[in-house]
Amino acid sequence: MPASDCSLSTDSLHGDAVGRLYGEHHGWLLSWLRYKLGSAHLAADLAHDTFVRVLATRAQAGILQPRAYLRTIAHGLAVNYWRRQDIERAYLDLLATLPADLAPSPEERLLVLEALHQADAMLARLSHKARRAFLMHQVDGSTYAEIALELCVSDRMVRKYVAQAMLQCLALAAAD
């Protein structure tokens, strides 16, 4: 059997397993999300995104606790949604303080929000200390010595944390 035929049958088996998982647990997941989120529309969106993620991860049919698996994925998606909402709310609150003539256009707002979401995703990939060190250095203007004292690490470790964050920024910029 050619390799392409083998992958085709594997894709088909995976699709069948996800289809069964969907059929058996979609209603439950939708109810759970509706209860957690208080919104039928948002629950439907996140339930859909959960199964898209299952398809993308190519998880095998041997999932021992499918509801726990789905709940974990859906919870992560909900946390990401809430974080995005917090970012958007903070940005819109900031814009509300600007005089009307300085307010950005809707297109500029969208571009800024997209950049903020990308920066948040980049920072989320860092360890807590690396993220904190980077933000203290870039946003607060703290020196490496001040950051080291705050985080209870050496100056050398602070340099390493900031370098890790800068590499993430470069990777993000290169991806665009």
Looking at the structure, tell me whether residues 73 and 108 fall in a common domain. no
**Domain range for residue 117?**
101-175
Q: Is 95 among the domain residues?
A: no
Q: Which of 55, 87, 119 is the last residue of a domain?
A: 87
Query: Residue 10 has what pLDDT?
Result: 52
> How confident is the model over 117-146, as a mean pLDDT?
89
Residues 6 or more apart whose CB falls under 8 angstroms from that of 106 comprise: none
Which of 118 and 29 is assigned the larger pLDDT?
29
- 165 and 126 Cβ atoms separated by less than 8 Å: yes
Q: Is 92 among the domain residues?
A: no
Tokens for 96, please give them. 């509300």
User: Does the predicted TM-score (pTM) go above 0.75?
Assistant: no
Looking at the structure, tell me whether residues 43 and 83 fall in a common domain. yes
Query: Residue 122 has what pLDDT?
Result: 85
How many residues are present in the chain? 176
Question: In the structure, what pLDDT confidence band is assigned to residue 13 with cuts at 50, 70 and 90?
Answer: low
Classified as helix, coil or strand, 63 is coil
Tokens for 152, please give them. 């209870």
Query: Residue 132 has what pLDDT?
Result: 92
C-beta neighbour count of 104 within 10 angstroms: 12
> How confident is the model over 137-149, as a mean pLDDT?
92
What secondary structure does DSSP assign to 104-164, as a single string?
PPHHHHHHHHHHHHHHHHHHHTS-HHHHHHHHHHHTS---HHHHHHHHTS-HHHHHHHHHH
